[in-house]
């Protein structure tokens, strides 16, 4: 299949790849030792370099200052950026800001875009997205407790959220809240901009995830909304459109996730192969000579190659036919690529032995952070059910058509 990758884009991809390896890899030891906040000054310099190179905002249209890449092209860029823990941040296409940019571009008013979008695009501010709640299952996103009630020209928001990623240091949150509890299931909620620092909008804590609490952009917050008052002018899109807006970002967002996971898999694979050749298990007996290690290498390469083709095909369907036509492909890659990532990183850790579980390589960080990939944006089980239903529906339709034509 011709995915239409041009020579010009291949050159861009090569520049991205070189920058990540030469400018970002050397920062990883300091990141592991001191955390994200300590690196912010040097990362600000790296971001300035990316801007000067004309590689800023690869996910955004040219009219808004981005590269104007197709979904497939941006997916390939994601695979390169993911090889570093802060590759996305350096290019200003990091979650949750990237999704919030897309929402503000499509649904924001001129006033909202001026106040919130422009500084976000410029990299002058950060944002967070506040949807998941500890009291309700993320697998049923329509069921939530956070409410936004009208009071004059304002909304009064009350609720409890967690995994509000990157809250610390953000300028604003986009919060999902029930605005009409009597409406049909997927028309009850809206998305509303809430400036950080608004009275009643408070941090409970940065959640420790597998022993890592994180800081600044690299953190996941538990927050509370207690009688938080914001103008109704902060509503994004029509009232009751919260789930429609969320779905707009999920399809392309899952492509980004999968390509990011492929990039991490490639980095883990590279580390595994390099270490296997250099590490001796006895004098003049490299680890790479062990047949079980060779099996890990072969299995990993085959899985990464197959996953990449599946993700590129899903991106191609979205680019050519739209996200709705790619629902089955999106569900399939979401759970299958997450599982492959987990397997490849696990093999790489095993190949490194004791070193693999230390923070002297990025492998432990990959393992800790990316295990959640099989949970967020819909757990594996939900995507499997969704894909199976679509497949079986197609078979039913084909069988019915055959009976009519018999």
- Per-residue pLDDT reduced to its tens digit, 369-392: 899 888 888 889 999 999 999 999
195 lies in the same domain as 277: no
Comparing C-alpha atoms, which of 85, 97, 94, 87 is closest to residue 34?
A: 85
Residue 280 in any domain: the answer is: yes
Statement: residue 248 has pLDDT above 80: no
Amino acid 318: pLDDT: 87
170 lies in the same domain as 274: no
Residue 39 in any domain: the answer is: yes
214 lies in the same domain as 272: no
Token reading at 267: 């980095």
229 lies in the same domain as 285: no
| Element holding 127 (H helix, E strand) | strand 127-130
Residue 201 in any domain: the answer is: yes
Statement: residue 247 has pLDDT above 90: no
Residue whose entry in the numeric block shows the structure tokens 């990959």: 366
Residue 320 in any domain: the answer is: yes
Choice between 327 and 90, residue whose per-residue pLDDT is larger:
90
CB 129 within 8 A of CB 196: no
265 lies in the same domain as 380: yes
Statement: residue 2 has pLDDT above 60: no
Q: How far apart are CA 266 and CA 211, in angstroms?
A: 25
Q: How far apart are CA 15 and CA 24, in angstroms?
A: 13
134 lies in the same domain as 208: yes
- Quick one: how far is CA 199 from the chain centroid? 29
259 lies in the same domain as 204: no
Q: How far apart are CA 309 and CA 120, in angstroms?
A: 33
Span 389-406, pLDDT tens digits: 999 999 999 988 888 887
316 lies in the same domain as 387: yes
Number of structural domains (the chain) is 3
Span 166-188, pLDDT tens digits: 999 999 999 999 999 999 999 99
Amino acid 322: pLDDT: 85
Amino acid 28: pLDDT: 94
Sign of the dihedral defined by the CA atoms of residues 134, 140, 144, 150, in that order = positive
Amino acid 377: pLDDT: 80
| pLDDT bucket at 243, cuts 50 / 70 / 90 | very high
256 lies in the same domain as 387: yes
Residue whose entry in the numeric block shows the structure tokens 């030469």: 22
Residue 361 in any domain: the answer is: yes
Domain boundaries, position 352: 248-405
Statement: residue 57 has pLDDT above 80: yes
Mean pLDDT (the chain, rounded): 93
Residue 120 in any domain: the answer is: no
Structural domain ending residue among the three candidates 193, 208, 236? 236
Statement: residue 5 has pLDDT above 80: no
Residue 1 in any domain: the answer is: no
28 lies in the same domain as 173: no
Sign of the dihedral defined by the CA atoms of residues 87, 91, 96, 98, in that order = negative
Amino acid 52: pLDDT: 97
Structural domain ending residue among the three candidates 52, 79, 108? 108
305 lies in the same domain as 267: yes
Q: How far apart are CA 283 and CA 71, in angstroms?
A: 49
CATH number of the domain encompassing residue 44: 1.10.540.10
Structural domain ending residue among the three candidates 236, 261, 295? 236
| Element holding 78 (H helix, E strand) | helix 71-81
CATH number of the domain encompassing residue 172: 2.40.110.10
Residue 316 in any domain: the answer is: yes
| Element holding 258 (H helix, E strand) | helix 242-278
Amino acid 251: pLDDT: 61
Comparing C-alpha atoms, which of 117, 35, 64, 52 is closest to residue 90?
A: 52
Mean pLDDT of 63-67: 95
Statement: residue 250 has pLDDT above 80: no
364 lies in the same domain as 336: yes
Comparing C-alpha atoms, which of 202, 256, 204 is closest to residue 226?
A: 202
Amino acid 323: pLDDT: 81
Statement: residue 3 has pLDDT above 70: no
Mean pLDDT of 206-212: 91
Span 264-319, pLDDT tens digits: 999 999 999 999 999 999 999 999 999 999 999 999 999 999 999 999 899 889 88
The proportion of the chain whose per-residue pLDDT surpasses 90, expressed as a percent, equals 81
Amino acid 70: pLDDT: 86
Bridge-based pairing of strands 189-195 and 280-282 is unpaired
211-217 own/partner pairs: CB under 8 Å, 24+ apart:
211/368, 212/365, 212/368, 212/369, 214/35, 214/36, 215/35, 215/36, 215/37, 215/168, 216/35, 216/36, 216/37, 216/40, 216/166, 216/168, 216/169, 217/36, 217/89, 217/94, 217/126, 217/166, 217/168, 217/169
């Amino acid at each position: 299949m011709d995915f239409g990758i041009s020579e010009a884009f291949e050159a861009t991809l090569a520049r991205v790849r070189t920058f990540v390896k030469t400018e970002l890899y050397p920062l990883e030891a300091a990141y592991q030792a001191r955390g994200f906040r300590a690196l912010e000054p040097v990362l600000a310099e790296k971001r300035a370099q990316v801007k000067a190179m004309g590689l800023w905002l690869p996910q955004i249209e040219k009219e808004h200052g981005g590269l104007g890449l197709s979904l497939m092209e941006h997916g390939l860029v994601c695979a390169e950026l993911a090889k570093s823990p802060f590759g996305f941040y350096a290019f200003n296409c990091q979650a949750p800001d990237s999704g919030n940019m897309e929402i503000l571009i499509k649904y924001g008013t001129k006033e909202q875009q001026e106040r919130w979008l422009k500084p976000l695009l410029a990299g002058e501010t950060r944002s967070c997205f506040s949807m998941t709640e500890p009291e309700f299952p993320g697998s049923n996103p329509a069921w939530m407790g956070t409410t936004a009630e009208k009071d004059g020209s304002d909304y009064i928001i009350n609720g409890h959220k967690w995994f509000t990623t990157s809250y610390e240091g953000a300028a604003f949150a986009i919060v999902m809240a029930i605005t009409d509890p009597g409406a049909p299931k997927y028309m009850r909620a809206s998305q509303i901009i809430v400036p950080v620092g608004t009275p009643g909008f408070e941090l409970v804590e940065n959640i420790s995830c597998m022993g890592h609490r994180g800081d600044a952009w690299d953190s996941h917050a538990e927050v509370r909304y207690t009688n938080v008052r914001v103008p109704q002018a902060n509503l994004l899109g029509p009232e009751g459109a919260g789930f429609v807006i969320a779905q707009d970002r999920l399809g392309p967002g899952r492509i980004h996730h999968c390509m990011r996971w492929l990039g991490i898999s490639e980095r883990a694979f590279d580390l595994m192969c390099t270490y296997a050749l250099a590490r001796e298990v006895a004098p003049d007996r490299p680890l790479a000579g062990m047949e079980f290690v060779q099996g890990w290498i072969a299995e990993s390469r085959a899985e990464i190659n197959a996953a990449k083709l599946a993700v590129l095909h899903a991106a191609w369907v979205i680019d050519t036919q739209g996200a709705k036509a790619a629902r089955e492909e999106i569900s399939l890659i979401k759970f299958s690529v997450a599982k492959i990532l987990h397997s490849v990183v696990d093999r790489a850790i095993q190949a490194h032995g004791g070193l693999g579980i230390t923070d002297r390589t990025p492998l432990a960080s990959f393992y800790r952070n990316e295990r959640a990939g099989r949970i967020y944006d819909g757990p594996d089980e939900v995507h499997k059910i969704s894909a199976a239903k679509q497949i079986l529906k197609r078979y039913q339709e084909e069988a019915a058509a055959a009976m009519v034509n018999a």
